[in-house]
Structure 1
Amino acid sequence: MQTKTIKVPDKFMIGAAISAWQSEGWTGKKDTQDSYLDLWYKNNKNVWHNGYGPAVATDFRNRYKEDIGYMKEIGLTHFRTSINWSRFLTDYENAVVDEEYASYIDDMINELIANGVEPMICLEHYEVPAVLFEEYGGWGSKHVVELFVKYAEKVFERYGDRVKHWFTFNEPVVVQTRVYLDAIRWPFEQNTKKWMQWNYNKGLATAKIVQLFKEKGLKEKNGAKIGVIINPEVTYARSTAEHDQEAARIYDLFFNRVFLDPSIHGVYPQELFDLMDKHDIRFESTEEELQIIKENTVDYVGLNLYFPHRVKARSTAWNERTPFHPEYYYEKFDLPGKKMNPYRGWEIYPQIMYDMAVRMKEEYGNIEWFIAENGMGVENEKRFKNNENVIQDDYRIEFISEHLKWLLKAVEEGVNCTGYMLWAFSDNVSPMNAFKNRYGLVEIDLEDNRNRTLKKSAYWYKQLIETGQFEALDDDINK
């Protein structure tokens, strides 16, 4: 097929992401500093592919200078990671800083800046301290919200002079959906009301951190911004029929708008309250809290987009003996002929970039946003190595270029998207899948001391950044 040249706008961020828990390893971790992910791994290690988990991860804690050197070589303009709340403090109630870990974060941030890479820091990427999960029920507790604010204050005081991109959460819907809604991850409790309370408390925590950010004057001091990173699943109905459209709307309400609306508009949709009341799953809130949410919306948002979500109206009766689940209103729709990533089991549909972008413009006031994650996980990539020991991941290059093509089409039409962050900078450990599916520009060789090697996609990404353009399939998306 023919290709065409796509130009990247000036000052458009081209970077990559990874999280603390998926990269750092346990070096320096005290026995009392487990996160929820550490706790899950210790209690349910058998579900993690080949037993790999966060214990060593990619050993970024000890090798961050080496890795940042690769970031510089590739030319990343930005790098997004998280600070591990469970490691940053030794006393969560009184927000006592662990100086050893905090100094490492200092050095890591300074190393990024010295190498021309802008740090983007998330305060929580599934790293709620295990002791707060065990003692208070994690994000089901309003007390944990207050402790999160104390933690954030210490972080802002320590790094607010250098970091200009801040985020409260990465994918705030995920942990409780896996644990309390679908009960597929430890500790396996199906409790829909608890799920909704976690959703609400994270929304409240975001607003309270925005409020704190304003009080600290970080925007005025160095032009910093505060946001949240959400993973909306771009939802398509099977058909234009009213029953299928309703199914898609309700899915969108429970999984996407539950975070998009309060973060950006400052209010929850009335239909969400109506459905929560109907099914007795309404979260506990106060008028004062809802006012805080209304008055403290984010400066911008990051969106993690990987695949579309397709639904249809239910065709079978719901089992009334089970707790309420939003699937009461929908079933998944298996689109015939869809293009798949067979390793991850996700549909590949690059148009999600354009469709979500248009929605951000039309429904969310064209707020500033960027792609915070997008990428392709592939199993057993070593089989694609050439004679020079470089993984020839042309499938990843095609994936990135096709998604970027649709994204930049929207930017040309006036959508306020300011960047693209690839998941991930390097291969990394993921929940349950561990290192099974590889996402990185940089290979991590588990059999050889976790040595690093740039993949073909890393050199392609470097050229994209240097030239500000790339080749993509010419399939007439403008028609």
Structure 2
Amino acid sequence: MSTELDMNPPTGFPKHFLWGGAIAANQAEGAWDVDGKGVSVADIEILPDRYSRTNVVGFSHTRDEIEAAMTDGAGYYPRRHAIDFYHTYQEDLALMAEMGFTCLRTSISWARIFPHGDDSQPCELGLRFYDRLIDAMLKLGIEPVMTISHYEMPVDLVLKYGGWASSTVRTCFVRLCGVLFERYRGKVKYWIPFNQINCLGGWGEFASLGLLRDAIEADGSLVYQALHNQFCANAEAVKLAHEIDPAARVGVMLGDDPSYAATCEPADVLAALRYRQMRNYFFSDVLVRGCYPGYAIRYFNEQGIALDASADDLELLRMHPVDFFSCSYYYSKIIDARSPEQPRDNPHLQRSVWGWSTDPIGLRISLNQYWDRYHLPIFIAENGLGALDEVVDDTVHDDYRIAYLKAHIEAMREAIRDGVDVFGYTSWGPIDIVSCSQGEMSKRYGFIYVDLDDRGQGSGVRLKKDSFAWYQRVIASNGTELD
């Protein structure tokens, strides 16, 4: 039996493409101590008196620092207040629906459901908030894309068990997943267990893995053991979701960290490849292909890293790979073999005020590479431009944001024309929220301006920026009208 080659590739976005935006509970909800919510790792992050726009601050802690933050009555902790989405979600969702959103990616605050992480019963008031939020989204025709762990684990799981280095935390997380999958069966189709599971360094090692600084310094294997527990929890989440709701889809999400070789010298090319392997591919290779890749095993051996990975764990990973691939994409770097662990800015690219290189072609490259590697449907979970916005005549003239997003949407469309199966796009921060890296409001991403400053002062009034009407046209035209 012969078939003809289809010479009519896609020319644009598929008919039912998901358009929307992405936020995180800890950066938007506020209401940090209402309706039974416990303290999360995000709630103890103070706004520094001084910070650099080019460096991440915080997210690396000792037990004493955590306990001091929990009793501090003087410092300003921006994620405790955020933009009060917990109380304004209906107004904010209405604005997103006005733009034409067909999806919204947000997260569940783990500490809202299990305040201490290991509670005997979930907090019903916390679940009722997400009942209301998800039902409101569905009523507006907005598909919920839910992240389960987005730097929001209960801080008690850090203090009591040592974070994800403990198998007990893995058990607690899987229990959370079971509660959510049962509660939102038939309502939530797309689940992302871990936001940017590859986010390491001082930031991710505390915010995502819940590891104390002194514990990391004492055990060189601890970070990768904690990651192994997250990998296994992700596979357990896939298994559980498919059992509870066969229509549910569970994905992996990376913070895409594309790296070019600084020159065409083979040593630089190899250094860039090795950087890409252990910063990106390793995480998704395990969760998509279901096994530890050879390059990672070599790295572990060379670095003296030992993992407690049982035969049952490895079988679990093999049997329950993810259903889709997702990533955030913001910028690219270059790698020099002389200092392969210190990526540099690309001199051919312009940079934002926060020092992030603008590289839309890099998005097309990444999408092609991930598609060729996995042949799984791809969801772009974050993409956006953080900028210093100025309100003029009750709006923000943010042509710079429109230009950034237009170029990246065009690159995404070209990847689709290349044959890449991209099924959705959520711009980061459709409404201004506190920054993840430092908690400031002045780093704004949204189509909707929120009148609050870095210390939470302001009216909280929402204003439509110029990009609001632009994105509205983009969605209404399914990506054909980008000007």
Report the TM-score range of the alignment, normalised by the length of the smaller protein: 0.7 to 0.9
**Equivalent residue number for residue 451 of structure 1:** 461
Q: 2:346 aligns with which of 317, 335, 353?
A: 335
SS of the residue 1:54 aligns to: helix
- Encode CA deviations 1:106-145: one digit per residue, 9 max, x unaligned: 0111111111111111111011110001111111112111
Kept after mapping to 1: 8 A contact 2:32/2:38: no
Partner in structure 1 of residue 181 of structure 2: 156
Name the CA distance, whole Å, in 2 between partners of 1:78 and 1:30.
27
TM-fit CA distance, 1:17: 0.5
Structure with the bigger percentage of strand: 1
**Structure 2 contact 32–43 (Cα < 8 Å) conserved:** no
Q: Which amino acid aligns with 2:444?
A: R
Q: 1:247 — aligned with what?
A: 271
User: In structure 2, do the counterparts of structure 1 residues 300 and 180 end up closer, same or farther at CA, with 3 Å as the change threshold?
Assistant: closer
Separation in 2 of the partners of 1:303 and 1:209? 19
The residue aligned with 1:477 is none
SS at match of 1:297: coil
* Aligned equivalent of 1:77: 102
Shift in CA distance, 241/169, structure 1 to aligned 2, threshold 3 Å: same
Corresponding residue of 1:208? 236
Q: 1:230 to 1:170 in 2, by over 3 A?
A: same
1:256 to partner: Cα distance: 0.4
Q: 2:291 touches 2:318 (CA, 8 Å); kept in 1?
A: yes
- CA-to-partner distance for each residue in 1:320-372, whole Å, 9 max, x for gaps? xxxxxxxxx5432343242111x2211001012110111122211x2101110
Q: Which residue of 2 aligns with 1:144?
A: 169
Q: How many pairs are equivalent? A: 442
Question: Alpha-carbon deviations, 1:254-312, whole Å to 9, x = none?
Answer: 21022110111111211111111111123321121011011111111211011112111
In the TM superposition, residue 160 of structure 1 has moved relative to its aligned partner by 1.6
- Give the structure 2 partner of residue 369 of structure 1: 378
Distance 2:417 2:383 in 1: 20
Task: Identify if the C-alpha distance between structure 1 residues 215 and 297 changes in structure 2 by more than 3 Å, giving closer, same or farther.
Answer: same
For residues 292 and 156 of structure 1, the distance between their equivalents in structure 2, rounded to whole angstroms, comes to 19
CA change 1:426–1:140 in 2 (3 A) is same
1:437 matched to 2:443 = yes
Matches within 5 A, 1:37-436: 37-41=42-46, 51=76, 53-90=78-115, 92-174=117-199, 177-178=202-203, 180=205, 188-189=213-214, 191=217, 192-216=220-244, 218-219=245-246, 223-314=247-338, 329-341=340-352, 343-364=353-374, 366-379=375-388, 381-382=389-390, 385-387=391-393, 389-430=394-435, 431-436=437-442
Distance in 2 separating the partners of 1:161 and 1:415:
28
Cα displacement (A) at 1:438: 0.3
Deviation per residue, 1:392-451 (Å, 9 max, x gap): 111111111101111111101211111111001211112314213101111110143211
C-alpha distance in 2, partners of 1:272/1:177?
Answer: 21
Q: 1:450 to 1:137 in 2, by over 3 A?
A: same
**Alpha-carbon separation, structure 2, partners of 1:349 and 1:414:** 21
**Structure 1 residue 242, shift from structure 2 partner:** 2.2
For 1:6-48, what per-residue CA distance to the aligned partner results, in whole angstroms no more than 9, with x for missing partners?
A: 9533111111010111111025537871111113349x78767
Equivalents in 2 of 1:119, 1:418: separation in Å? Answer: 14
Residues 157, 370 of structure 1: CA spacing in aligned structure 2 closer, same or farther, 3 A cutoff?
same
RMSD: 2.5
Over 3 Å counting, the alpha-carbon distance change for 1:161 and 1:176 in structure 2 is farther
- Judge conservation of contact 2:191–2:249 (CA < 8 Å) in 1: yes
Q: CA, structure 1 residues 158+375, in 2 after alignment: closer, same or farther (shift >3 Å)?
A: same
Are 2:474 and 1:464 aligned? yes
Between the two proteins, what is the percent identity of the paired residues? 29
Moved more, 281-290 or 56-65: 281-290
Moved more, 108-117 or 7-16: 7-16
Match of 2:4 in 1: none
Q: Distance in 2 between matches of 1:449 and 1:181?
A: 33
Letter in 2 for 1:453: L
Q: 1:32 to 1:350 in 2, by over 3 A?
A: closer
**Do 2:38 and 2:115's aligned partners in 1 also have CA atoms closer than 8 Å?**
yes
Mapped partners of 2:254, 2:125: distance in 1 = 31
Q: Distance in 2 between matches of 1:335 and 1:113?
A: 42
SS state of the match for residue 335, structure 2? strand
C-alpha deviation, 1:103, in angstroms: 0.5
1: CA distance, partners of 2:200 / 2:342: 22
Q: What CA distance in whole angstroms lies between the structure 2 residues aligned with 1:393 and 1:314?
A: 40
In structure 2, relative to structure 1, the CA distance for the partners of 1:20 and 1:173 (3 Å cut) is same
Alignment-mate amino acid for residue 258 of structure 1 = F
Distance in 1 between the 2:23 and 2:447 partners?
Answer: 11
Instruction: Give CA-to-partner distance per residue, 1:151-198, whole Å, 9 cap, x none.
Output: 11111111123111111011123265526599xx99645544222222
TM-score if structure 1 supplies the norm length?
0.86
Question: What amino acid is the match of 1:271?
Answer: Y
Does the aligned pair in 2 maintain the 1:16–1:425 contact within 8 Å? yes
Contact persistence 1:398–1:472 (CA under 8 A): no
In the alignment, the residues of structure 1 paired with residue 233 and residue 87 of structure 2 have an alpha-carbon distance, to the nearest angstrom, of 32
SS in 2 for 1:236: strand
CA separation of 1:105 and 1:425: change in aligned 2, threshold 3 A? same
- Supply the AA of the counterpart residue of 1:437: K
